[in-house]
Amino acid sequence: MHTQTDIELVRGVLKNNPACEEALYRRYSGPMYRVCQRYAASRAEAEDMLQEGFLRVFADLRHYRGEGSLEGWIRRVVVRAALRWLKQRRRMEFVKIPADHLPAATPETAEAADDWPDDRRLAVQLMQQLPAGYRTVLNLYALEGYSHEEIAGLLGISPGTSRSQLSKARAMLRSPAGTLPDAPGRRRKPHDDQKHTRAMNDDMLNDNALDRWLRDNAGDHREPPAPDGWDTPREAVWTRLRSSLDRRKRRRRAAFLWLVLLAGLFGGATALWYQKVGKFIPASEKHARIAARAETLAGHPATLPA
C-alpha cells in the first residue's frame, strides 16, 4: 500500500480531499496532542486546543511553502492556536505569588495518559498543575526554545515578566522537593520501579538540569501507534473536527454561489441602466445616428466608412 508523502497530503488537502485531511490528521495529531496537553490543565482543554489547532492548520495550509518539515510548521501553528485559546478564555493570567508562598505542584489531581511511562506521566501532570501563565512561559522557554523577548511578543508581556514567570514556575515544581521523582523526603511506594524514576539530587535544583528533565519526559516522543492507529481522545476530536471542516466547506460554497448571483444581478442591472439612459447603444444604431447627423449638417446623404 502506497504511503503518501507530506507533499502529496498537502496537495490533497488543498484540493479538499477528505481522505487526505484525515490522513494528515492521523499522522500528526499524536505529537500535537501531547503538545496541547502541556499547555492545558486537563484532557478536555487539550482536546479543545487540538481541534482549534488543526482547524487553523487546514485553513492556513496554503501558506506552507515546503521549506522545513511539515511537522515543525504544524507544531508552530498548533502552539499559537493553544496560546490564542488560553487568551480568549482568559485562562492565561500572569499571577504574582511571593516566592515563600508558592504552593506545591502535585500530580494527584492532574490528568495524563495511564499507559505513559512513570516519569513522563509525572512531568506532564506536574506541568498541568502550574498556573496557566507559569505553565505557558515554561513550555515556550524550556520546551519550545523561545527566548524571553520572543515570549514577550507572543504573549503581550514584558521580557521581565516572562523571566519572573519562568522562575516562579521552576520554584513551584521544586517546592516541596518531593514533587519530583526520588527527591529527599519523598515517600516511595513499594511498587515504584527504579527504571521509571530518576534520582533527584542537588543537580536537579539547577535550572538547566530541571529543564533537561522536563524536555526528556514532557517533550515530544515518538510512540508506537495504537493497534488500530487511533486512540479515543484523538478520535473524538477528529469527529468534531470533521463536522467543523464540512460546515466550513458548505459556507464557502454558499458564499461563492452568492457572489456569482450578485455579480450576475449587478451586471444585468448595469446593462439595463445604460440602455435606459442612452449610454449603452448598439454599434449599428451608433452608425445610423452618425450618418443622420452628417446628412443634416452637410445637406446631402453621408456615407459611412466600410
Q: What angle do CA 277, 282, 284 make, to 5 degrees?
A: 135
Residues in the chain with pLDDT < 50? 99-110, 112-116, 177-203, 222-228
Q: Which helix (H) or strand (E) holds 34?
A: helix 18-39
For the chain, the domains span 6-246
Helix (H, G, I), strand (E, B) or coil at 224: coil
pLDDT of 186: 38
Q: What is the pLDDT of residue 229?
A: 52
Cβ–Cβ under 8 Å, residues 199 and 13? no
pLDDT of residue 220: 63
For residue 223, give every residue at least 6 positions away whose Cβ sits within 8 Å of its Cβ, in sequence order, or none: 30
pLDDT of 97? 52
d(CA 155, CA 136): 9
Question: What topology is assigned to 6-246 in CATH?
Answer: Rna Polymerase Sigma Factor; Chain: A (1.10.1740)
Angle between helices 18-39 and 232-277 (to 10 degrees): 120
